[in-house]
Structures are given as C-alpha cells and as structure tokens.
Amino acid sequence: MTVALFVPCYIDQFFPQVAVATLELLESLGLDVVFPDGQTCCGQPMANTGCNSDTAPVARRFVELFTGYDAVICPSGSCTAMVRHHYAEYFADDDPAFTSVRDRTFELCEYIHDVHGGRIPDVCFPHRVSVHQSCHGLRELGLGSQSERMVQRPDKVAAVLNQVQGIELMPLTRVDECCGFGGTFAVNEADVSAAMGRDRIADHSGSGSEVIVSADMSCLMHLQGILRRQQNRLQVMHVSEVLVGRELETAPLAAAQRS
Amino acid sequence: MNESTVKSSVTATTDSRRAIMDRLRGQVIDSNPIPPIDTSSLTQFDDPLAVFQQNLQAVGGESHLVDRPEQVAEILLGIDVFSSAEQICSLVPDAVNGNVDASAVDDPHEFAPLDWTIAQGQFAVAENGAIWIDGATLPHRVLIFIAQYLAIVVSRSQIVSNMHQAYQQIGNIESPFGVFVSGPSKTADIEQSLVLGAHGCRKLQVFLLP
Amino acid sequence: MKLPIVDHPTAAKPFVTNEDRSHWHDDALWFVRVKRDRQASSVPEWEYLRERASAIKTHTIANLGDYLEQFERNATARGATVHWAADAEEHNAIVLKILRQHGTQRIVKSKSMLTEECGLNPYLENNGIEVVDTDLGERIVQLREETPSHIVLPAIHIKKEEVGQTFHTHLGTDAGASDPQYLTEAARNHLRNKFLAGEVGITGVNFGIAETGGFVVCTNEGNADLGVSLPKVHIACMGIEKMIPSLADLSVFTRLLARSATGQPVTTYTSHFHGPKDDNSELHIVLVDNGRTRLRGNDTFRPAMHCIRCGACMNTCPVYRRSGGHSYRATVPGPIGSVLSPSRDAKSYKSLPYACSLCGSCSDVCPVKIPLHHQLLAWRGELVGNGLLPLSKRVAMKTASFLFQRPGLYRTAGSMGRTALRVLPHFVTHNRFNTWTKARELPKPPRESFRQWYIANRGNPQRRDSVNGNATTHANTRSNGDAS
C-alpha cells in the first residue's frame, strides 16, 4: 500500500510534531508513505467563509496533487470532511480524479479502523485522557456515535486509543459539544467562541483528565490557546502523538495557577 | 388605519389567493409520492396498559384500574379536592353523579366556577399517555379546560400502542373538535421549573375500566 | 444612514460576556436538549420517523398549491372561513377586519410565531384593541415589553427573580417572591379573568390537514383551548408551510414535535379543530404567504420550509445557548432563524449565517431533517456572491487562496509568520486588535515547518513532474520517487 500523507496547512506551520507522529505511525503500520510536495491547504477557510470562487482553484489543485495514491491520509477530521463532503461543488460528478481522491481520502483513525484492520503497534501512555470529538470528524465523517442521532456507530478514535497500554479514557458530561473553534468563527465570534472553549475545558478538567486528545489539531489549537491564557496545566495532544508513544509534556506552569 | 384601507386590504384577499396560487403553480417542483408507512418498523407494546400507566405517570397524571363504574366515585371521594368540590360536571353519569347539567347551559362562561369535569375518553395511547376525547361527547368543549380538576374514564381494552394506530382508530373526523389529553395542564416557562396547573386542570385522574 | 443591520457578535457580547447569565441560560437549554435525547432514544424508530417527516414535507411543499386548495375546500365545507394574506400587512388587516365586524375590544391569543412575524400585537394595540398573550412565557415578555427570545420557551432568558419583579409590578404578587409555583398560580388567576373577558380567541396553527380541512394546535398549558372555547369567534393564523396531507401524516409529526421541543412524549393538549364550535360561532383561518412562496422557489433553502417550529435547533446550538435569543434580532432566532432571516433581508441579517461554528448538531436534532448547517454555509456563499461580505474578510480569503495556490510563496509567508511570532514581543502579537488573542494565546511557533523537518529527516518530498500531469503515471513515478 502506498499512501500519501496530507498535512493540513496549520499543522505544517504550527504543529509539525503532529505530522511527524502521523508519518511515524503510518510507517510503523508497514505502509509506504509519500509526502507529495507542493501541498498547502484543502481550502476549508475560504469555503467556510462562503468564498467559493477562492476555494475552487485550491480544491482543484488538491485533487491534482493527490490523484493516484491508494489512500490519502490526513491527521484532521475537518480537512478530510472538506474533501469528502464539500468538494463536490467544484468538480463534475463523474470526474474520475475527483471521485477517486474523494473516496480514498481518510482521517487517520478512520483509516486505521476501517482500512487497516484496526490494530496499532504496542505503545504505552499511562495517563488519564479525555477525548475531544471534533464536530466534523463526528458528524460529517461519522467517527463515533453522536448524542443527537439515535444510531450506534463504532467510536473509531476510542477504538484505536483503547489499545494503548495504561491509558484511561475519562468520561465527559457533554460528550460531543463543539469546542467553539469553527475556523474563522473563532475570530468572527470571538466572545462566543472563547466561552464555548472555556466550557469544553471545564468539562475536560472536571473529568480528572490530564490531557485532551483529539483527531483534530485545529480544535486543540483553540483549546490550547485558552488553556495557556488560563495558565491551566491540562495539556492537549493529537491522537497520533499518543499512538506513537510521545511523552506527556510535564506541567510547565506553576501548579497554583491551575484553574 | 381607517375603514377604507381595511376594506381595500380585505377585498385584496381574493387577489392574494390568486397571486399565491400563481406563485405556487408557476414553480413546478418534482416530487415523489409519500410511500405507505412501514408498520413493521413501528414499536408495538406487548403490554400497552402498563406502558400507558407508566407514561401517564411521567406526564403528571394518575391512573386507577377499576372494574366497575361505581368505583370511580368511591376513589374520587377519597380525594380531598373532590370531596370538598362544589361544582361537578359529570359526562359519565354511570360513574359519577355531577351537580352541573352542562347541556342546560348556553354560555360557556358560566362554567368559570367549575371544580371538576368527569369526561369520557374514547381510547388511550400507550406511547405518550394521551387519551382521545371526541368533542361530540362534550356539550361544551371548554369543560375539559376550565375545570380546576379533570377526571377521564376510558376502557383499558381501548389502548393503542402509538399515534399511527391512534389516527387509524379515529378514522374520519366528524366532530368539529377533538383533543388528545396527556396529563394535567402544565408549564415550565419560569426557569424550566415544571409547574402543574397552568391554565387548565391542576390534576388529571384517569380511570381505566375493563 | 441608519440601516438596521444586525451584527451578531456585537449583539451577543453583553449576554455572552455576562458569564453567570450565559452559563445559566446554557444550562437551562441543555437540560431541555438532554430531555429531548431521552425521549428520542425511547423511540426505536426515531430515525425512521425523521426520514418520513422529511419526505412528507418535501412532498407537501412541492405540491403545496394542490394541498392548499384541498384544505380550503374541506375547511370551507366544514363551515370555516378561509382568508388568504400575501404578506404581514394583509394578514393584520384581515384579522382587524374580523375583529371590527364583531366590535371586539379585547382578544386572547395563544402562542403563534406567525403573528409575531407579522407584528400583529402592536398593530392591534395601535388600533385600540387589548391583546393578551396567554402563554405564560409570552405573557411574561409581554408585560416586560420584550419579545420572545425562543420560539417554544419565550421567557427562557428571564430569571425567576425578574419574573417575580414583573409580576409584583403588574399582578401585585408579593415583593421579592420568586417561587415558580407561586408565580404561575398568580398568572393563572390573572389570566383566568382575561380568558373570561376575551371576545375573540386567536391561535396559531401547528399543522393544517388538507384531507380533513382541519388543523391542530398543540399546547401544554391549555391556553389555546381555553382562549377559543369561551368566545364565539376563533381566528387561526397559519403560515402556508404548515400544511400536511393527511391524518396518517399527522401521526408522524405528533410523535416528533413535543419530543424534539421539550422532551415530552406529546404535548399535554393536541387539539383538532374542524369547523366552528356551533351554529352561533365562527372559525376563521388566515393563510399567510409573507415570503414563503419566494423561499419555496429556492432549491437550496426550500427545505427550511419543513420547519415545524420545535426549537430543538436552538436548544442544541452552542452559539444560541451562550448568546441568547435576542442577539439574533429576529422573530425566529437560532439556526433556523439564521437561515430564514436572510431570506427576508440578506443585507440586514448578513451576520447571522456566520453566527455558527458549523458544528452540525442542529441538522441532526432537527426532526424534519433540515440540513441547517449546510444551509448556513450555503448562505455564506450567497452573501459573498452578493458582495455582502466585508471587504477585509474578502481580501483575506483572496490572499489565502492566492498563497495556497503557490506553495513557494505559502512556505515563505509561513516561515516569516512563524519567525515574527517567535521574535516579536508578546504585547505586539497579543493586543486588542488581534481577535484571536483576546481570550487565547497564539500557538508557540516552531522553528521549522513539517516540510522542513521532512527534508532534513526523509529527504526531498515527492515531486510531481507537473501538478497538471497525467494522473495515471503517478503509480510509477511514485515508486521511483525521491521520498526515502
């Protein structure tokens, strides 16, 4: 299997360690991983603002760049959902390059769970973890059961995380409420966004968790920004970092500051 | 607004009808017919009576299993607000003797001081604790809503599982009025605190005859 | 120039930054959402019912002309008088005419979002008619001279202490009293007198049934029924989208409505009206368009007409819960309101489609499966297409698109940005002009991007001969690629 690694723009620029962990994880699964050069962004910021004419060339470029691989794997549910569910308006329905890329683009946990048999190499992470389900991962990709819909689906992120030795998944009160990131929403509606983020953090903190783990780094970027402002010792990690056995960063802030 | 503008606006109603219909007809939208409901996918209860009683309790009502109509009065007399009631309108005379003859009243406003109405339910619905009351059984429909307390007598052999069966049971609607009653009148408009007895009955007693 | 343009972030700010109040409001609505979940999960065929409700509405809206005619025919045969109103003004005039014909001084009215939409209350009051809203929540906001902040829970934004104050002023309740039981009892007694004095009862309509010519009104309080079963005249105001074909279809909606709205298995009273009370009474049904036929003409937004006004999308919306219903400055707030309002006036309501994190929860609680968050996203596209996005945002997106199409420039810009964040002092990057940093820190910028790491650790990334090259050759080029 030759798979292409798609690294979303903000991960490339701000969270390279997440892309490194994703790459190492995929390699440890025995996959031939290539990193196509020239990749930038899936176009979601423009699409979510309604700037469809600005999205179209970015989407077309993405499809050209990622055509021809057995799979395109992305450490972000949101960017994967963009390709799978929102690219259609920029392509002809029967455009084979588009449909092929659309049908082969996977979020990381989803790929492991659905395509790769679900197993991961042995790894240990002896910590209390609370999982943040990103909205697009959950509701658009169906990575788990959602509280709104009365259908059961396997929780793909938890299924992968549960194989990690020593990990303890902590229950949340509101299992799948939005963290308030929402792309440009975070700056358009800064007050509401921040209030949503603080509420999510309170739920995670209240669970006794040491670290918020998510398949979407964009949500975590927002939550981490608030945690740091609060001088809260709760950490965030991308799921890939846990799955390759990265250490939990020890508390960098004074314990007394924990809120 | 003066009379002339009122008049001109209302003569416009026929024009408006035409305009609305023209806009609707002018935009043809393809659609599929609604397929018949798949009854096999609907929940049927093995014990609709038990489910009904459970749901009635959940919506704030109280149910009583009785074997004979006379037991209704016996049970009601054990309830303080009934034994002390001054005005009782019974539409189920073989169960309760009322002292207000509703059919002799012309103006429904006269029911303002009514303490109790005893009504006849046609059938009940297990999934939501509702009871169907056909307006044809009511000399005045306000009787259901204006009394401080309401009791409904219904046969426990007449309990359907769900609303699909309920509307089948109703069949063709003949009366100008019919109502499903599920529990006593209630509100939660003040801070989501549930309060029974908003405008209608403060409590609902349901008597389940064989 | 003073156009009433709603800026949701500004309108929401006082509510959301009042943390106690915002949390209290959020908790109250989440409580309702949880009750809804419990009810929905108790119905194994829940998702089937949603599918079916959506199919019924799609079919009915497509054939709305036929069903309205059938409804009118059957309603008339049962003795009702059917009126047609093209817009809000005509609706109000029709109602006033009926009231004038009966020399009406005072009316009692149950909850109707349509009459709110049409501004019926102020119109009638300006014409000298006393209007009493009889739904407790609506009466509270009416006494406070406010508008409902939620379509099912009109007073959800008001604390019981504030209700106590209002009732103390208007109903003479004890000063400082805030017990909901006590206050509800006071409202009951106050409104009993209003019911007895009402000369005409006005209600909304939850469902109009074409096959029977009747309609259904759902309440928990019994206020609609009490309001219309005392007077001789009942006026029912109905948006044309409330139509459904048959009683069999009604069964689907009566199972979904209250469960979705308040987490009850059904409303306390589900009342079916088919013609006037008796020979001495009148039943008037006012069918209202007011922009609905226009909405029907739009393929993208037509499903918004499926709405049965349960309010579930508001209860679940994380933005609504924290910013309060009044921040939308619209009769219908929340997700469905943010779809409907711009269809009335795109310019005034252009900020509402952006008052959404696109979490998608609304679409999945909606009992009639309106793809609400997709419609909000579609609205953004419409607004941009109509030049209604602020220039600064438009330019930002153009620039982003430009960079994302040019990897070299993107890398340079990224590198410069990270360097700037690293070297600039905190107060420069975290000031009041940077919206991100009002409540958050910026990410700590790494020295190298992933691509730089990749080149250092794995060699050059795989390059295409040409981005526009033939896809079929890639398998071969890849196996000989330079990624190792």
Taking only the tens place, the pLDDT of each residue in C357-399 is 999 999 999 999 999 999 999 999 999 999 999 888 899 999 9
Q: What confidence tens digit (pLDDT) does each residue in C192-251 have?
A: 999 999 999 999 999 999 999 999 999 999 999 999 999 999 999 999 999 999 999 999
Partner-chain contact C380 A7, CB within 8 Å = no
CB of C133 within 8 Å of any CB in chain B? no
Is the pLDDT at A190 greater than 70, yes or no?
yes
User: C453–A36: do the CB atoms touch at under 8 Å?
Assistant: no
Helix, strand, or coil (residue A145) = coil
In a domain, B91, yes or no: yes
Whether B5 maps to a domain, the answer reads no
Whether residue B111 is contained in a domain is answered as yes
| B127 within some domain | yes
Is residue B34 one of the residues assigned to a domain?
no
Asked if the C-beta of A191 comes within 8 angstroms of chain C's C-beta atoms, the answer is yes
Q: Which residue of B has its CA nearest to C263?
A: B59
Q: What's the mean pLDDT in C342-362?
A: 96
pLDDT value at B8 more than 80: no
Q: Do B10 and C93 touch (CB under 8 A)?
A: yes
- Cβ proximity of C198 and B199 under 8 Å: no
Task: Find chain C residues with C-beta within 8 A of A193's C-beta.
Answer: 357, 439
Amino acid at site A160: V
Rounded to two decimals, the pTM is 0.94
When the pLDDT of each residue in chain A is averaged and rounded to a whole number, the result is: 94
More confident residue, A8 or C434: A8
Smallest CA–CA separation between C190 and chain A, in Å? 39
Provide the shortest C-alpha distance from residue A48 to chain C (in Å).
6
pLDDT tens, position by position, B108-141? 999 999 999 999 999 999 999 999 999 999 999 9
pLDDT band at A257 (very low <50, low <70, confident <90, very high): very low
Q: Is C413 exposed, middle or buried (0-12, 13-18, 19+ CB in 10 A)?
A: middle
Subunits adjacent to chain C (3 or more Cβ pairs under 8 Å): A, B
Could you tell me the pLDDT band of residue C5, with boundaries at 50, 70 and 90? Answer: confident
pLDDT of residue C425: 82
Q: How many domains does chain B have?
A: 1
Q: Is residue B167 assigned to a domain?
A: yes
Report whether pLDDT(C481) > 70: no
Note the pLDDT of residue A251. 57
Residues of chain A contacting C431 with CB distance shorter than 8 Å: none
Alpha-carbon dihedral C184, C185, C188, C189, rounded to 10 degrees: -140
C-beta atoms of A225 and C389 within 8 A:
no
**Quick check: C265 and B129 CB within 8 A?**
yes
Alpha helix stretches (DSSP H) within C386-470: 391-404, 407-423, 426-429, 450-458
Any chains having at least 3 CB pairs less than 8 A from chain B are: C
Q: What is the mean pLDDT of chain C?
A: 93
Contact yes or no for A2 and C384 at CB 8 A: no
* A/C interface, count of CB pairs below 8 Å: 259
Inform me whether the pLDDT recorded for B47 exceeds 80. Answer: yes
Asked if B152 and B133 count as a contact pair (C-beta separation under 8 A), the reply is yes
The mean predicted confidence, pLDDT, of chain B is 94
Q: What is the pLDDT averaged over residues A84-103? A: 96
Q: Which of residues 82-141 of B touch C (CB under 8 A)?
A: 108-109, 112, 125, 127-130, 140-141
Which chain C residue shows the shortest CA-CA distance from A67? C471
Give the three-class secondary structure for B81: helix
CATH number at residue B122: 3.40.50.10420
Smallest Cβ–Cβ distance between C97 and the set B10, B166, B185 belongs to B10
- The reply to whether B121 falls in a domain is yes
CB–CB contact C160 B193 (8 Å): yes
Query: Is residue C467 over pLDDT 50?
Result: no
What is the residue-wise DSSP string for C332-389? Answer: S-HHHHHHHHHHH-TTTTTTGGGS-----HHHHH-TT---HHHHHHHHHHHHHHTT-S
Average pLDDT over residues B57-83: 97
Tokens of C82: 């059917």
Residue B16 located in a structural domain: no
Q: Whole domain around residue B197: which residue ranges?
A: 46-208
